[in-house]
Structure 1
Amino acid sequence: MLRRRRLPALAALLAAPALARAETWPARPVTVIVPWAAGGGADTVTRILAQGLEQELKQPVNIVNRTGGNGITGHAAIANAAPDGYTIGTGTSEFVNFRALGLSEFGPANLDLLSRVATLPAGVTVQAGAPWRDVGAFAAALREAKRGQFTGSGVGAGGSWHLAAAGLCRALGLPADQIRWIPSVGGAPALQDLVAGGITVFTGSPVEAQSLVAAGRVRVLGVMAESRMSILPEVPTLREAGLPWTYANWFSLVAPRGIPAGVRTRLLDVCARAHARADVQEMLRGRGIVPVWDGPEAFAAFVGEFGQTSAVLLKELGLGRG
């Protein structure tokens, strides 16, 4: 009997450190790791959300860009961080396909999937001086070109924008690899290559090209969205041009597995509040980014479905394993 009466007290004593961590978190700055280069879509989304996080956390939020390995380096850095709630990261669609591509055994199970935070439709962006004035003209030239004559970039092989290009080619009745892919560490360097004439087309999000569009250095011919983007209302969707293809990349909040339950609950609550802030929503939408917050369970289900869909294109590209 005495032993039984001591059990609740012992359980409370063991739980006390965890409760204390949850109550004091965050006691110092929080770091968000971005697996892609500064200036790209993932970086843009993260920095907007970080502004809301700083307001909700009452702590500085440090953004760290960890590039390399087609996104593996940054995602692995998130997974390997101390599971204390002080290091989280921006997960991008690439981490779903690392295993399918044979790049790494790293996959969704290595991360704590917190929630999607935004989606970005892909586009067809070319040099301002390119001969094509619309998607129809570009599509006609792509059909007539030799396989691999047109080149694209914006992410590593098999990444989001590569799948966007492959799907565009298939929608035109062409091989998935009609556009030869030049791997890149992100949208920003790919756009510089586009301006310099190193690639033919950028199939990443027009959001990443905004400053170059404004400067008259590149032109967006079409967007792979269900409807026109608010930031480019004059640019038609591919569907309007008669091409049945849409594609949107997505960005998420992920964390190392094993964060104490109390801290994780507070982390999710703070991130959800930061995401819902009117200023954050306005900044995202003002850049053509679609805010999304689906939470851990729905996000995990989405990841499973996304992996199955992207595996089909990867196999057609000759990149899928198995």
Structure 2
Amino acid sequence: MKTRLCRGHCPLLLLCLLVWAALSTGCQKQQAGSNPECIAPAKPGGGYDLTCRLLANGLQHADLIGQPMIVSYMPGGIGAVAYNQVNATRDRDPDLVVAASSGAAMNLALGKFGHYGVDTVRWLGAFATDYGVVVVPADSPYHDLSELVAALKHDPGSIVFGAGGSIGSQDWMKVALVAQAAGVAPKNLRFVSYEGGGEALGALLGHHLDVFTGDASEMAGHLGSGRVRVLAVLADHRLGREYADIPTAKEQGYDIEWPTWRGFYMGPNVSDADYERWVHKLKTLVASEQFKTRRRKQGLFPEARFGREFDRYVNHQVAEFRQLANDVGLGHEQ
């Protein structure tokens, strides 16, 4: 009976198995891109964490992804570990994006990412802009930028600066520009490097630092706390909203600006189709009202550069940063 049953139904069973296999393969192809991940190349709590979470929440609420986006952390070398990891082992991953900023461009300009250069990843896009800030504890003796500059002129070694970046990083550059305004060589400053803005801000609140340089968005949740004082925002105009009472460095007599784009890159061997798929997602997200509201609530400001236009922009910025590094005495390490 069993043999006769098999003889009668095996061709049908084989056909069903073939159909099932074909459908399974098709489903797997359709599910490509269903495990989105954003790497924040720092410890939790800083600007890269904010960038990934803004993307993850925005994509989810806009129904632009089928599954929740994973936010993972890869601190080390102020972005160097993540940059090398993506180039070496996840260079084709169609689901992976990595948070980046003008800080990454600065590190690339200085050769801090090893033998990988600006052209070894695919620059995806920027969906927000931030601005540099100079911050002290609320009980600091410095009430404005001029008082800090005066103290630097008098005794530069008496003030401990700190930021989420090493010497040469964009947050260190903010310190260097303030020092230049005081006529002090940046190399004479006391500077403590932290693995991310969240860690550096925690050190300021714990009074392990005298001055923190970071970005305005990192201060959004602290402005009304009574624990910090923002001496200046490094923009060409006052930012408005919750930052309306914070003067710019310019209006205090110091020509210092530092806008910070927030965006993403992908592995160098991601296909054009997957790259363009992510470009489209970002463009759609940035155009939505819900994202604009989320971005504003995070203390960020509009930015919209995507795809090849953004790639050209980052390459140009890296070249500009190399010149700036020379101007403050760092030179180019590559």
* 1:152 CA drift (Å): 2.5
One of 107, 116, 123 as aligned partner of 1:113: 123
Counterpart contact for 1:176–1:313, Cα < 8 Å = no
Q: Which residue does 2:42 correspond to in 1?
A: 36
Alignment: residue pair count = 303
* 1:313 CA drift (Å): 3.5
| Structure 2 unaligned blocks of 5 or more | 1-25
| Structure 1 unaligned blocks of 5 or more | 1-19
3-state SS of 1:280 partner: helix
Query: Which structure: larger Rg?
Result: 2
3-state SS of 2:136 partner: strand
Q: Which residue does 1:234 correspond to in 2?
A: 245
* 1:121 CA drift (Å): 0.6
Counterpart contact for 1:152–1:181, Cα < 8 Å = yes
Query: Aligned runs of 1:1-322 on 2, under 5 Å?
Result: 24=30, 26=32, 28-54=34-60, 55-79=63-87, 80-81=89-90, 83-98=92-107, 100-103=109-112, 104-147=114-157, 149-229=159-239, 230-315=241-326, 316-318=328-330, 320-321=332-333
Counterpart contact for 2:124–2:275, Cα < 8 Å = no
Distance in 1 between residues matched to 2:188 and 2:45, nearest whole Å: 28
* 1:263 CA drift (Å): 2.4
Counterpart contact for 1:101–1:320, Cα < 8 Å = yes
Distance in 2 between residues matched to 1:164 and 1:109, nearest whole Å: 26
Normalised TM-score (structure 1):
0.86
Distance in 2 between residues matched to 1:22 and 1:92, nearest whole Å: 34
For structure 1, which segment, 310-319 or 284-293, has the greater mean C-alpha deviation from structure 2 after superposition? 310-319
* 1:87 CA drift (Å): 1.3
3-state SS of 1:141 partner: helix
* 1:188 CA drift (Å): 0.6
Counterpart contact for 2:235–2:257, Cα < 8 Å = yes
For structure 1, which segment, 174-183 or 107-116, has the greater mean C-alpha deviation from structure 2 after superposition? 174-183
Amino acid at match of 1:57: I
* 1:134 CA drift (Å): 1.6
Change (3 A) 1:179 1:280: farther
Distance in 2 between residues matched to 1:61 and 1:232, nearest whole Å: 31
Q: CA RMSD in A?
A: 2.3
3-state SS of 2:232 partner: strand
* 1:317 CA drift (Å): 3.9
Normalised TM-score (structure 2):
0.83
For structure 1, which segment, 63-72 or 154-163, has the greater mean C-alpha deviation from structure 2 after superposition? 154-163
Distance in 2 between residues matched to 1:225 and 1:21, nearest whole Å: 49
